[in-house]
Structure formats: C-alpha cells, structure tokens
Chain A
Amino acid sequence: MIDWRTRQTLVTGALGAVTVLFLAYQWLPMLTMALLSFTGPDGGPTFPMRGVSLHWYRELARVQMVDDFKPPMFRSLVLALACSVTTAALALAAAQAIRARFRGSNPFFYLVLLGIMAPGLLVGFGVAVVTRILGIPLAWYTTTFAVHVVWTLPFGFLTLLAAFNRFDVRLEEAALTLGANRWRAFWRVTFPLVLPGVIGAGLFGFTLSYDEFARSLFSTGSEQTLPLVIFAQFDRQLQPTLYAIGTVTTVVSLVTVALFSLLYRIVRQRTRTLANETT
C-alpha cells in the first residue's frame, strides 16, 4: 500500500498529463496548418515542406476569378458586424425586459435559449424551406443574417442577464430617488454599468457569425460567405491556399477576440471607478 501523499502526487500527475496532452492534441492541427501555409510554391498539402515562402499568401491576394476569397471575406465581415450590433441591441432589450418579470417571461426565456439548442444545419434548412414556399429569395444579408442572429442572440442574452445580475441595483434606485425619470436613469446609470456585458454580447455576435458554416449552408444565396467558399474549394481540391486562408481567418478571429477583450477591460475599469466614486 502506497501512502496517501505519493498517491496524491500520482493522481495529480496523471490528470496533469491528460490535460497537457489534450491541449497539445487540440492545438497541433491548427499550428501545423499555419506552418504548412508557408510551404514553397511546389509544396503540397502535407509534409514534407518544400522550402519556406509567402507564395500561397501572394496567391490569395492575386487570384481574381473562381477562388477569389476577398469578396466572400468582405461579406462575412459585414455580416459579422451586423450580427454583433443586432445581438447587442436585442439582447440588451430582452434582458432588461426579463427584469420586469412580465407575464410570459418564463416561456420567453426558453424561447430565446432555444437558439443555442437548435441544430444549425436544420435551422438553415427550415429557413430555406420557408423561403422556397413563400417565394422569398435567399441572400446573405437577409436570410443568412436572420439565421445567424438566432444563434448569436442567446449567447448575448445570457451574457447580459449575468451583467444585470451582478450590478448594484442601489445605484439605479439612488438615481430614481434623486428625481431622474426611468428613461434617463437607464441611460445615465444602468447602461454604463452593464456596458461590459453589452460588449461581451457584441463579441459573441461577431465571432460566432463570422465563423458560422452549418447555418449558412442552406440559407445563403449565390453570393456566398467565407466559410462556404472555403468548403467549396476544399471539396474540389486541398491546396496550401486553403491553409493560407485558414490561417488568415483564424488570425482575424483571434485579433477580434483580443480587441473586444481589451475594450471590455477598459470599460469595466471605467465602470468600477464610476461606481466607486458614486457610492
């Protein structure tokens, strides 16, 4: 029988090994893809690398016709921005409404959360069926937009519910007692206090929409978004260009997350100082 201290160390070591191995397992494919995107002009989609070059990135910038990723990328960015703003606005209104515990707020809560549970492929499929029957044309800025917000809104909603749960209600009460009307109290006191939550909702809206593939598959018309074009190209032939565009869009996603977190930190810092000054 080994003593408990050794056993404890063994357990910790084993769990640590599992964690580290999993993280490596999760990251290695992405890092490999990034590495392979710098292969030389004669390089193929797998090892060994044939030299190091920016050839495939230049290829991305050069290509004009079929495999041009630039217009789809532009569409995806615009769509993501629209989803970001819409998610933040709708989630703010919905979370504020929930605070009033109106009749039917419980079903409303579950209705919004259904967007997380619903399988993306089938939501897109459903919208495609509806538009077919009603004779509405599919387009990335209408149907795809609608389907993406169904996915991003619940995330923003939960973020804002958490923000409303955390903030000090007494600050709001003080504003009302001091004679501010509800509208003014909301925009001058409540809104600045939950602003970090609004930014969080905006982040969900942006990145989830920017990377979305399953929901776009059926709901987008002939002008396709970036993930759709990437998949179509992948279906035809696996080339290092795909690794290059993959690396580029991963960097775009990560930079966006970093920017939003920076904004979040700044705003939260300011909110805290404001709240401390007033109490």
Chain B
Amino acid sequence: MSTLRARSPVSYLLALPAALWMLAALIVPTIFIVWVSFWATRTFSLASPLALINYAKFFSRSTYVKLLVDTVQQSLLLMAITLVLGYCIAYFIVVKVRRPQLQLWLFLLLVVPFWTSALIRTIAWIPFLGVTGVINQALLFLGVVDQPVSAFLYSLTGITLAQVSFYTLLATGPVAYTLRNVPPSLREAAQCLKATPLHVFWRITFPLTLPGVVIGQILVFLNVMADFATASAIGGNKYAFLGNLVILLYDSGQLPFASVIAVLLMLCMLGGVAVLLKMVDIRRLGVA
C-alpha cells in the first residue's frame, strides 16, 4: 500500500509535466535539427527542398572531416587520461584513506568546483598558461627552461591541461561510488588465498568497479565531444572542435549546414555511448 496505487491513473497526470517539458524542449528541437539538416538551401528557408547536399559538402572537404577526427581524438585522449587519474584518486580516497574525516575533506575538495561556473574556471586558466603566465614563471624560476615556452596558451596542450582539470571529477565519481560497494572482505579473502596484490586488483576489484568506470568514461566522452568553451577561450582562434564550428556557422546564418554538424556530432556521441555500453550491463550498477 502506498500513497499512489500501482498503475493508478493519477501517476500519468503526475508524470505529464516532466514528460511534456522534455518533449517540447529536447525531443522536438532534436527532430527539427534533423529536418533542417536536410534543407538544400544555404540559408533559412522553410520552403526548401530536402536533399543530402549539405552532408555531401561536409564529407567532401577535408578540413571539416579533420575537425571531426580531431574532436574524436581529443575525446579519446581525455578518456585515457581521466580513466587512469580518476581511478587512482577514487582508489586513494575510498580504499587507502582510513579516517572518515579526512575522506570527507578530500571528497569535498574534489567535488566543490563542480558547483562553480565552468566558464569562470576556464578563464581562470588564462593567467596560468600565457608566455608571462604562472607555469612559465615557475619553469623559469626552477631553471627547467631558460626562455618562456609559448606552447601553453593558444595550443592543444593548454586546452588538454584545462580539460583534464574539469573532467577528471566525472571519471572519479562513478568509480568511487562502485568502489565503496566492494566489500573489503573480498580483497582479504583473495589475499588469504595467496593472490598477489596486482592479481587481486585485476581479478577482483577492477571487474567489480567496471560499471562505474564505463559510466565515468561515457560522461567524459560526452562532455569533451560537446566542449567548445575551453577550445575557444584557451585555443584562441587557432583551435576548434565540432562545437565551435556549429557556433561559427550559426553566427554566419548557415542554419542547414550548422544542423548537419549538430546531427553528425549527435550521431558520434550516440555511437560512442552504444560502444561503451556494450562493455558492461548498466543495470548491474546498483548491485555491484
């Protein structure tokens, strides 16, 4: 018995506002993007005939295709870095730190930046990366280099440095969550049976946290694929990803071509998520 009978008609009424909101502001716009991407005209025109001309244009220019490859490449790079870094951090905080008080503080230090503006955090990286920036001044001071390195600001290195600081949390969180649900007794049992620590990790701990790893990787993948602010703020005009191209085309009024990029971006994201989900049964997450 509950305040709502099973399959009560009231439940439809309760679900309706949220469902309508998501349909109107998420599903319908997506359908419109797909529709507009088939418009054969260059600019906005409702009477436009439908054709694949804009898709052909995308795949016939190597600059556009290269942008797609660059975007996917950057996502893969970030996934690799955040996977290792995120796992180490989660493992340290959840398994190695024994004092709950310290655990809480480390966790807060890790999570609190999530509650602040990503844009401000991006801007905050600028004084670090420039020729007269903090990194260069530190390197000069330590004598590592004798001339300032200009490779940080307006470069892929700078973009990657900033992205790692934003997105590692997304990989850490789900791993920490699954790691907390692995009983320490499992590890102890394996150790009693003479398994080496490395063996224990790869045969017991890692497989049990795999759902968390995959969720984290999905979040990092989706965020890096759609990231444009880091590239435009730190990369200057020199570096761009697909998201930046959507903005550029929208600003110059080429709505159909911008939609093509948006559709391709969404397809890549869906494909990536499908591949990642193949690796693990997501419904096991709660049980692991």
Contacts and interface: CB of A to CB of B under 8 A. Distances in A.
Interface in B14-35: 14-15, 17-19, 21-30, 32-33
Interface in A220-256: 227, 230-231, 234, 238, 242-243, 246, 249-250, 253-254
Please indicate which of the listed interface residues A127, A176, A177, A249 has the most CB atoms of chain B within 10 Å of its own CB: A127
Contacts of B21: 90, 146, 149-150, 153
Contacts of B124: 29-30, 32-33, 243, 246
Given A19-B93, A27-B109, A122 B15 contact: no
A18 interface: yes
Interface string A87-116: 000110110111111110100100110110
B110 interface: yes
B284 interface: no
A25 B15 CA distance: 43
Contacts of A186: 3-4
B123 interface: yes
Nearest to A92: B14
Contact of B246 (A122, A185, A210): A122
Contacts of B59: none
Contacts of B92: 12, 15-16, 18-19
Interface stretch (A57-65, A67-75, A211-219, A265-273): A211-219
A24 B243 CA distance: 29
Contact of B250 (A103, A218, A250): A218
A37 B124 CA distance: 11
Interface string B236-252: 00000001001100100
B58 interface: no
Contact of B8 (A100, A111, A150): A100
B207 interface: no
Interface residues of B, number: 84
Contact of B247 (A190, A217, A242): A217
Given A46-B133, A173-B1, A32 B128 contact: yes
B18 A90 contact: yes
Interface in B34-72: 36, 44, 46
Interface of A: 4, 7-8, 11-12, 15-16, 18-19, 22-23, 25-30, 32-33, 36, 45-47, 90-91, 93-94, 96-103, 105, 108, 111-112, 114-115, 117-123, 125-130, 132-133, 146-147, 149-150, 153, 157, 169, 172-173, 176-177, 182, 185-186, 189-190, 207, 210-211, 213-214, 217-218, 227, 230-231, 234, 238, 242-243, 246, 249-250, 253-254, 257
